[in-house]
Structure formats: C-alpha cells, structure tokens
Structure 1
Amino acid sequence: MTRSYTIRIRDRSSGEIHTLQVPEDRYILHNAEKQGVELPFLCRNGACTTCAVRVISGEIYQPEAMGLSPELRDRGYALLCVSYPRSDLEVETQDEDEVYELQFGRYFGKGKVKVGLPLDED
C-alpha cells in the first residue's frame, strides 16, 4: 500500500501556503498541479532551478535532481519536479536567480567573458 504525506508549500512570491496530499511514489510538482496548485517550473526533468525549494522540515527523495549540486542538496534545497516525499514536508519556494547564483555563481564571478582572445592570453 502506498503512503501519502502532507506537503505544505509556502510560495514566497505570492505569500500563499498550499497544503497537499502526495503519495510517496509521485512527484510533488505533478501532484500539486493535479490538485490545482500552480507553482514555478520550466524543464520538468530536474535540470534547471526554476522549481527549487528549501526544505524547512521533513524528508525528500530526489535522485534525478541533476540541476542541484550535492552541496545544495545537503543545504536543504530540492527540485519539486523530480522530488518524492518521504515524510510530511514543509518547503518554501526559492527565487530561481538566488539558487542559480548559489549553484553556478562561483564560475561566473570573474566578470564578463572576453571574446576573440587566443586561449593562452588574458
């Protein structure tokens, strides 16, 4: 028998709190949509950070979340499009740009890319 969990999602952009029931074998985002809750998403396959949330409490399973580094996962970030609940959860949506900066910002922190220079020159 499949267990269902109570998921509370605080949408930072609207201030709304959505409460859902999600089976342990279903993606949270997909079930939210089936229950009439509109949340941010883009790719639906765990490759971007549009549906990122921060887990406030509970356990989440996201083996296909290739858009998040292990470090961000360890810090409590998850991608709802490829996440399964493993307990009752409370999560908060994140600004995509904030998560993108956390994920990739260190690689782009040296300023604009210089175009037209040979590889051995700065």
Structure 2
Amino acid sequence: MTRTFPITVHWRQAGRVIQHHVPEGEYILRSFEQQGDPLPFSCRNGCCTACAVRVLEGTIDQSEALGLSRELRAKGYGLLCVARADGPLVVETQDEDEVYELQFGRHFGRGAVRPGLPLDDE
C-alpha cells in the first residue's frame, strides 16, 4: 500500500488554503491537479519559478529543480512541479518575480552587453 502525506498549500495570490493527501513519490503539482486543484506553473520541468513555494513545515525532495540554486533550496524555497513529498508538508506560494529576482537578479542589470570584450576566464 502506498503511503500518502497531507500537503497544505497556502496560495497567497488566490487567498486560499488547500490541502490534499499526496502519494509518496508523486509530484505535488500533478497530484493537486488530479485532485481538482490546479496550482500556478509554467514549464513543469523545474526550470522557471512560476510554481515556487517557501516551505513552512516539513521537507521536499526536489532533486530535479534546476531553476533554484542550492542556496535558495537551503533557505526553504521549492518548485512544486518537480517536488515530491517525503512527509507532511506546509508551503506558501511565492511571487514568481520575487523568486526569479532572488535566483537570477544578480546576473542581470549590469549594463549593456558589449561585443568584443574577453570573458573573465580568457
């Protein structure tokens, strides 16, 4: 018999709190969709930040989350499209732009790209 875990999502943008039991090893986003509660997403590949959450209680397995640095994962951020429950979990949705800025902001806004300049390691 497959174990299930209670997963609670505080969906800030919609002003809702949703809870479903998710089978161990299943993607949380997909399971919520199958149970009638689709959550925000874009790529389903763990590469963007549309489904970003902050873990309030519990932990998730998100080894496929390419769109989050180890630093952000350590701070409790996760991507529901590639997150699997490994126990009871409470998360809160985040604003996509906020997480995107945390993840990639330091790489942008550094001025115009100028052709012909050597790379730092050249």
* TM-score, normalization by structure 1: 0.91
Percent identical residues: 56
SS in 2 for 1:13: helix
Answer yes or no: is the 8 Å Cα contact 2:46–2:82 preserved in 1: yes
- Shift in Å at residue 63 of structure 1? 1.0
For 1:19-68, what per-residue CA distance to the aligned partner results, in whole angstroms no more than 9, with x for missing partners? 11101111000000011112110110111111010000011111111111
**Contact 1:7 1:21 survives alignment (8 Å):** yes
Instruction: Tell me the equivalent position of 1:32.
Output: 32
Structure 1 residue matching 2:42: 3-state secondary structure: coil
Deviating 4+ runs (over 3 angstroms)? none
For 1:1-122, what aligned pairs fall within 5 Å after superposition?
A: 1-110=1-110, 112-115=111-114, 117-119=115-117
Q: Scaled by the length of structure 2, what TM-score is found?
A: 0.91
- The one-character-per-residue Cα deviations of 1:55-83 (angstroms, maximum 9, x if unpaired) are 00011111111111000000000110011
Is contact 1:46-1:64 (8 Å) kept? yes
Give the number of aligned pairs: 118
Gaps of 5+ in 2: none
